[in-house]
Amino acid sequence: MITAGLRRAIGADDPQLRPGPAPGSYTTSLPFRLGPDPGTAAEALAARLREQLWIATAEVTGPGFVTVTVTHATLARLAIRIAHAGSACAESDALAGRTVPGAGPTGAADWPQARAALAAELTVRLATAAGATIDPERPSVPAPPPPPRGPVAEAISYAGLDAVRFALARTPPGGPPPEAAVIARHVPANPAYAVRYAHAAAAAVLRWAAALGTRPAGFTPRLLAEPGELALLDALSWLPERVAVAARRGRPDEFAGYLAELAARTIDTMSTSSFRKIQDISSERLWLADAARTGLAAGLGLLGIEAPSRL
């Protein structure tokens, strides 16, 4: 979506984007890879980006960074674009032309084995969404078949498969194993629950509106301008880029961490009075709720986790 457009406008498979100082702003460090004079390269890149009508500003920051801010309308219309795209909202061609190893068996007897096997599986899922070709003849991390008993199986029995899967996906290499008693808690402070709760919260807004006969219709970008709404749109704008970066680095835990942040933004926004007073809700906010629901469902699907409409 926006980050994919920036990647094409910048002209690099990996423009090394990072969040800018405000919603809808993005900073690239690409000029540091373009030659011995990053400042001059940054000026040239910024001048080229200013020619794009959907980009409000492109400024050189620091010794060679370029910070781009898209127009408010571009950021706001992301709500419609994501809702229309469905699960494809997480896809891109960032890794097109690359071949990555296929994953081996995913069963495991202990937490380190389970994390390694799941990381291999999820890296394949993410890489595929980012346009890579998978080589099934080269399994990346072979793992033993699942045992009938063990700590992983016990945690699944206690906390549920989706909670364990998300917690394990979010575990970095060498990180401590998930605690079943913690990831089983049904509180927004528990990311393993919050990612599914956030999807259900966005779905509930749409369900309640439909019950009153209200559905997303017209769209006026300027009517999505509250700080929380802009922050949620900004978080959604990173979805395909976070997929591609996590796949490129072989770090699905980074994508799971991003999804937890997106869930927190969604919960905060869906909890405001603008979204809870369904009888007065605007069409623009219904589009945003739909986009949040769609983006979270796409992200959870890439992790192999159910996106519930009710919790």
Interaxial angle between packed helices 111-129 and 151-159, expressed in degrees from 0 to 180 and rounded to the nearest 10: 70
Interaxial angle between packed helices 283-302 and 78-85, expressed in degrees from 0 to 180 and rounded to the nearest 10: 50
| Euclidean distance between CA atoms 247 and 239, whole angstroms | 13
| Euclidean distance between CA atoms 271 and 101, whole angstroms | 42
| Euclidean distance between CA atoms 286 and 290, whole angstroms | 6
Residue 190, CB-side half-sphere exposure with 13 Å CA sphere? 20
| Euclidean distance between CA atoms 173 and 195, whole angstroms | 21
pLDDT in single tens digits along all 311 residues of the chain: 899 999 999 998 889 999 999 999 999 999 999 889 999 999 999 999 999 999 999 999 999 999 999 999 999 999 999 999 999 999 999 999 998 887 665 556 689 989 998 999 999 999 999 999 988 676 555 444 555 368 998 999 999 999 999 999 999 999 999 999 999 999 999 999 999 999 999 999 999 999 999 989 999 999 999 999 999 999 999 999 999 999 999 999 999 999 999 999 999 999 999 999 999 999 999 999 999 999 999 999 999 999 999 98
